[in-house]
Structure 1
Amino acid sequence: MRYPIEKNSIQETLVIPLYGRALCSRKFPHLFADQTAAELLEQIDYDVSALEQRSGGLMQTFGALEAAMRQSDLAFEVREYLRAHPRAAVVNLGCGLDSTGRSCDNGQCRIYNIDLPDVMAVREALLPAGEREENLAADLNDLSW
């Protein structure tokens, strides 16, 4: 069964960056590879045809590259930090459906993925927490937590 993503929902905000990473992986595999993004797109029930129609355009391609490079740059910095601090905590605020923490896992760190409850419901269904990893539902705008 594919996980349903409703239009005009918080969960829908997961689709565009996910699609961008998958598109960049498909178009520029020598620059960026995110196999998880492509696999997750197959697991959601969401009509990406409008995104597909624009996927050859300059703005869509640039946006995909921008999202991919931002994730790649962040992963580089996390890996560098973990070399010096192998048992550090990796905290992914507003994680959505990205797997940056997992791609940086050195086997010793702890990974905390934090996002809104609606987003974390999707993440738990599609990317359940692994070893030394926790998916935490929290509204980052609510300072009481």
Structure 2
Amino acid sequence: MPSLQLDFSPVQETLLLTLYARAQDSRAPAPILGDTLAAAIADRIAQDTGYDFGRLKVRPSLVASTALRAKKLDDVVRQFTTTHPEAVVVDLGCGLDTRMARCTPPAGVDWYDVDLPQVTELRQQYLPGRSHLVATDITAESWSEVLPDDRPTMIVAEGVLPFLPGDSFQAMIRQLTTRLRAGELALNGYTRFAAWAMRYDASIKALGIDAAQGFDDPREPERWNAGLTLISERLLTRAPEVAAFPQPVRALTRLVAHSTAMSRQGARILHYRF
């Protein structure tokens, strides 16, 4: 009999979607991310709760894109913590992401994993570690007061943007960059079309989510009054790791890579300084 019950909203359940995608990548003959810890956690959750990951209808294209965007965000974090070995890392909407374990930051780094109370409770059970867990709604006004404000800070927001209503994502980033001294922000940036199209993805439809938020111009966040300056826009259709994508996903991705406009509708990593 299951020993644990999961009581998640559809948006919260996306943490299981990305966990399972990373787990599936780790089981591939040539994994992109190779997150074996994610696979172990997914297996334990299935055993403890009876959760059927098959209901998420995770396709090979989602497995590949999820693994690749996680790898590229990890690269940004590693570079930052290597340059700033006493930095602060803030992982927004962390879910059951194993980023800290994958990045192995220097001992002087303070890592904050931020998500809703139900999620952080699950994280304590399945992913204990040395990070600081912050149980909160990331759009709340005062939660950032727990963060140190006198050290360089790396803010990571993976898969957060399309699920927040109105301008709450912009307001959250503005709150953080106003309070913190200096640092960088990295996110997977959905265009408006990509965010709209997500609702027709088999996995998102299975969860009943109406995702909608995105922006097209990578310089738009520079106009959020958050002190952001674009460092880079990385179009993942052009990443060398695409060679490890399964067919026909690999062929389609390479075709799309010829067009910057079309590539932006897929996965891209946006990197800012504040």
Instruction: State the TM bucket, normalised to the shorter chain.
Output: 0.7 to 0.9
1:18-97 paired onto structure 2 within 5 Å:
18-44=19-45, 45=49, 46-51=51-56, 54=57, 60-97=59-96
Partner residue in 1 for 2:137: 139
Q: CA deviation at 1:4?
A: 3.1
Q: Deviations for 1:20-64, whole angstroms, at most 9, x for unmatched residues?
A: 00111112544220011101011112112334xx45xxxx11111
RMSD of aligned C-alpha atoms? Answer: 2.0
**TM-score, normalised by the number of residues in structure 2:** 0.46
1:97-136 paired onto structure 2 within 5 Å:
97-104=96-103, 105-130=105-130, 133-136=131-134
More RCO (CA 8 Å, sep 6+): 1
Gapped regions of structure 1 (runs ≥ 5): none
Gapped regions of structure 2 (runs ≥ 5): 144-274
Greater Cα shift, 22-31 or 5-14: 5-14
Letter of the 2:66 counterpart: A
Count matched residues.
Answer: 137
Aligned-partner SS, 1:4? coil
Contact 1:91 1:111 in 2 (8 A): yes
**TM-score, normalised by the number of residues in structure 1:** 0.83
After superposition, the Cα gap between the structure-2 partners of 1:48 and 1:106, relative to the gap in structure 1 and judged at 3 Å, is same
Moved runs in structure 1, 4+ residues, more than 6 A?
Answer: none
User: Aligned partners of 1:7 and 1:92: how far apart in 2?
Assistant: 20
After superposition, the Cα gap between the structure-2 partners of 1:75 and 1:41, relative to the gap in structure 1 and judged at 3 Å, is same
Letter of the 1:142 counterpart: A
Tell which structure's C-alpha radius of gyration is larger: 2
Percent identity over the alignment is 34
User: Aligned partners of 2:32 and 2:11: how far apart in 1?
Assistant: 30
After superposition, the Cα gap between the structure-2 partners of 1:25 and 1:138, relative to the gap in structure 1 and judged at 3 Å, is same
After superposition, the Cα gap between the structure-2 partners of 1:116 and 1:7, relative to the gap in structure 1 and judged at 3 Å, is closer
Letter of the 1:141 counterpart: T
Q: CA deviation at 1:2?
A: 5.4
Contact 1:129 1:135 in 2 (8 A): no
Letter of the 2:52 counterpart: D
